[in-house]
Structure 1
Amino acid sequence: MLVVVSSPSGGGKSTLLSRLLKSVDNLYYSVSYTTRPPRPGERHGEHYYFVSPDDFERMREHGEFLESALVHGHFYGTHRKFVETRLEQGHDLILDIDVQGAESVANIMPEATRIFIMPPSYEVLRQRLCARGSDHPQTIARRLRNATQEVRRFREFHYVIVNDDLERALHSLICIITAERERWRLSEKWLEAIVDTFDAESLPLEGETPKL
């Protein structure tokens, strides 16, 4: 199962996904590549793979990205091989990408479950971005301008979670993952094997008593 989670910058998806991965077993996180510099506390290979613009462009030219986009002045991309390998191995995988990336993934893998994390208001989002203390005012202004366009695209997603309360939003996210896992299990071959046990030979003829 492939799950795509998107939100405006500051929408809280990173915090939610960190809590989600600690709460749900057998759910893997796809670490994106980016050309932006790391923020305080971010580690290479855990939060992002931080690469130079030249390296990113070289990877893109070689077709290594499932999706890539220019977001807030920096490039972001999802590694194609990692995603394909995890899915082929039968693992559930979650992507933390922007709305542009979500659209690209939807075009390539329409079966992916798409979830949008909506901030409760513009003012709350502004406060969250300012509270980070790591972004220049011009960067914050640009992220807010982009958010104005991003929130209008919520209809492109299967689910929308308003992140006005972290615990409630986390509970909703866990419920969605649990329900989607059950939906995906319906396509598994073992269900077909169960159905095959209900063949005509096992059914009693009219008037006969079923064998116990």
Structure 2
Amino acid sequence: MSSGKLIVLTGPSGVGKGTLVRSLLARHQNLYLSISATTRSPRGGEIDGQDYYFVSVPQFEEMITQENLLEWANYAGNYYGTPRQKVEEKIDQGITVLLEIELVGARKIRETFPTAIRIFILPPSVEELERRLRGRGTEAEEAIARRLERAKEELAASSEFNYTVVNDELEKALEALEELIVNSFLHE
């Protein structure tokens, strides 16, 4: 059996990574989404073990110590990371794994999985990104300002990735991702 692929999707907060990933998974049941661990509190409707593994700071720090994470970062005051075991199991089974992670984690994945396909999702503009972040209605003004400042730094790193996809119109962005992931990499 051939090894699976690791596909990393990165982009600034509010760019629509989650929406794109959910759409990909709905259309392609042969893809597996790695569930990240985080120390942040769940947002409305999020389910532990489905959206994230919600853990305490001491639990997360133990995962770091035990090297149970492929990558991890502290982002906007909370830890986020990718549990190692499930990802490695799926790849060994020949399954393509999607990671929806932040820039710091994607850079670490470049070191730990140099064969990973890394795709950066771009907003059509910084102004549109700000509109999307405010439209969530889930964060205080201070948190939005931090995320926008961070987004500007992240956008400058898009050239580090194998591919970029602009999420201006959802369907077009989704088709571009499908062309990269499904039509190219799944048939190699």
- In the superposition, the TM-score normalised over structure 1's length comes to 0.85
Q: Could you tell me which runs of 5 or more consecutive residues in structure 1 were left unpaired when the two chains were aligned.
A: 186-212
1:92 aligns with 2:96: yes
Q: Relative contact order (C-alpha < 8 Å, sep 6+): which is higher?
A: 2
Cα deviation for residue 176 of structure 1 reads 0.6
Amino acid at match of 1:181: L
| 2:15 aligned to which of 11, 15, 30 | 11
1:36 aligns with 2:40: yes
Amino acid at match of 1:82: K
| 1:172 aligned to which of 173, 176, 185 | 176
Cα deviation for residue 63 of structure 1 reads 0.8
Deviations 1:73-103 (Å, cap 9, x if unpaired)? 1100101111111111111100000111111
Cα deviation for residue 42 of structure 1 reads 1.1
1:53 is matched with 57
SS of equivalent residue, structure 2 residue 63: helix
1:135 aligns with 2:139: yes
For residues 54 and 147 of structure 2, the distance between their equivalents in structure 1, rounded to whole angstroms, comes to 20
Contact 1:24 1:174 in 2 (8 A): no
1:66 aligns with 2:70: yes
* Identity fraction in percent: 45
Amino acid at match of 2:159: R
For residues 93 and 24 of structure 2, the distance between their equivalents in structure 1, rounded to whole angstroms, comes to 21
Over the residues paired in the alignment, what is the CA RMSD in angstroms? 0.8
1:105 is matched with 109
Q: Could you tell me which runs of 5 or more consecutive residues in structure 2 were left unpaired when the two chains were aligned.
A: none
SS of equivalent residue, structure 2 residue 156: helix
2:186 is matched with 181
| Alignment coverage as a number of residue pairs | 183
Amino acid at match of 1:50: F
Contact 1:21 1:28 in 2 (8 A): yes
For residues 28 and 84 of structure 1, the distance between their equivalents in structure 2, rounded to whole angstroms, comes to 12
- In the superposition, the TM-score normalised over structure 2's length comes to 0.95
For residues 113 and 130 of structure 2, the distance between their equivalents in structure 1, rounded to whole angstroms, comes to 33
Report runs of 4+ in structure 1 exceeding 4 Å deviation: none
